[in-house]
Chain A
């Protein structure tokens, strides 16, 4: 039986990585990811987890080592934040192109400068097109569960792509919450040992990460794009199987009070909990407001989104990053484009909020919705900025 315990979300994440029985952990400590890898290093040092823990000298090496160990047939894990992701980003793209099913938890933090250790989504949006499966989580249980779900999807031979689990820095990483810790037997049943499709072994030599001339590169990118799109049904299947085992089901877009909603809020990550409270409060006042929580960022759930917004006249997308000089926030920009052909389609308002961990409260979400309701055209604003 799963046991419900209260613990720091980072510790729960590390416990999940332990239960997933990883072979190699390569990480460099960076706030706010630190507690996850510190706990993993303790688990390895105490003999509770039989894995190689490699305290590399930089994040570039962390991802390089994950690529190498995964290519050699080891289930590999890494974890980082902000500047760490920026430093490793060269290899992040390579891991996906080489179709290596690494799992990375990204404790989301703002990219400098100004130097900040707090949360927003500027880090993950900088690697938006890296080719990984990308998911957002809003509480401890979702982070915990997605460690198993992530490996399950990634290692499927019909998928073979790495997965990023986004968890908001501090807001989630340093929060103490109740979480159901699963029995080892349940996890073993769900997540069998990693069987690589290809691995570096002298008995069966293969070449990985080779050079391609312009005559082949286009075909390589076509195959990579199709592979990420084709992972969608396997993600759905992995969620279903996890739900059948644990009772916790997940969807590409989670919906709250969307029935008959005229205005929809859309959030990603830990915003979902607060926005949910705001929507409940507005419903109590008789307002037809609903909430969409976008869990699956890549592959992007186009059809799910179109279905979820049909019937609404306004969609308020709350971004946690800025696309400088561009169309506002990165999520809103993609959502507008995804809805472009819909007729009728909701007007899309974009609010950028919560940069570098600035609190966005229940009242803030209510204000965001109320201000969007007065707007006549698609637009964007940076919420709560002084001056």
Chain B
């Protein structure tokens, strides 16, 4: 797995910062950008997969029953899935400040 940015020394960079490890974006957790999270209403979902197709961070995966669940480690909360869902099965819910 690729190193986190903060650990990389300048001497370790490939020329031109070429990334030689395919799929290294997996190491980049876009989930911590999120201020809204998608919440699925299974009663409305027709399992068409449009949310999975449109999600820019490929956060969706199908569960055993065929429903699409977004992975909070990668979901950045953009709301594209909610906008594209043809049955309005996805609602965007504001993330709350953790209680101190």
A positions within 8 Å CB-CB of B: 97-100, 160, 197-198, 205-210, 212-213, 215-216, 218-220, 222-223, 226-227
Contacts and interface: CB of A to CB of B under 8 A. Distances in A.
B19 A210 contact: yes
Interface of B: 5-6, 8-11, 13-20, 22, 24
B14 A198 contact: yes
Given A219-B13, A223-B13, A198 B18 contact: yes
Contacts of B11: 223
Given A99-B15, A198-B18, A223-B11, 13 more contacts: A97-B17, A98-B17, A160-B16, A197-B15, A198-B14, A205-B22, A206-B19, A206-B20, A208-B16, A208-B18, A216-B17, A222-B10, A227-B15
A222 B9 CA distance: 10
Contacts of B5: 212-213, 215-216
B17 A220 contact: yes
A213 B30 CA distance: 13
The 7 closest A-B pairs by CB, nearest first: A99-B16, A207-B19, A219-B10, A99-B15, A215-B5, A222-B10, A98-B16
B85 to A, nearest CB: 29
A206 B8 contact: no
Give the most central of B8, B14, B16, B17: most A CB within 10 Å: B16
B49 to A, nearest CB: 26
A100 B16 CA distance: 8
Nearest to B6: A215
B31 to A, nearest CB: 16
B7 to A, nearest CB: 10
A249 B8 CA distance: 41
Given A205-B22, A213-B5, A215-B5, A226 B10 contact: yes
Contacts of A210: 17, 19
B15 A212 contact: no
11 contacts: A97-B16, A98-B17, A99-B16, A208-B16, A208-B18, A212-B5, A213-B5, A216-B8, A220-B10, A223-B10, A223-B17
A15 to B, nearest CB: 31
A352 B7 CA distance: 48
Nearest to A159: B15
Contacts of A98: 16-17
Max chain A Cβ within 10 angstroms of own Cβ: one of B8, B10, B15, B19 = B15
A99 B24 CA distance: 21
A100 B9 CA distance: 22
Nearest to B17: A220
A100 B10 CA distance: 19
Contacts of A100: 16
A222 B15 CA distance: 11
A100 B15 CA distance: 9
A20 to B, nearest CB: 22
A208 B18 CA distance: 5
B6 to A, nearest CB: 5
A216 B13 CA distance: 10
B16 A212 contact: no
Nearest to A157: B15
A194 to B, nearest CB: 15
Nearest to B20: A206
A220 B22 contact: no
B19 A219 contact: no
Nearest to B12: A219
A219 B16 contact: no
Contact of B8 (A99, A219, A226, A227): A219
A101 to B, nearest CB: 10
Q: In this complex, which of A219, A220, A222 has the most chain B Cβ atoms within 10 angstroms of its Cβ?
A: A219
A265 to B, nearest CB: 38
B62 to A, nearest CB: 26
B20 A198 contact: yes
A23 to B, nearest CB: 19
Nearest to A158: B15
Contacts of A208: 16, 18-19
A227 B15 CA distance: 8
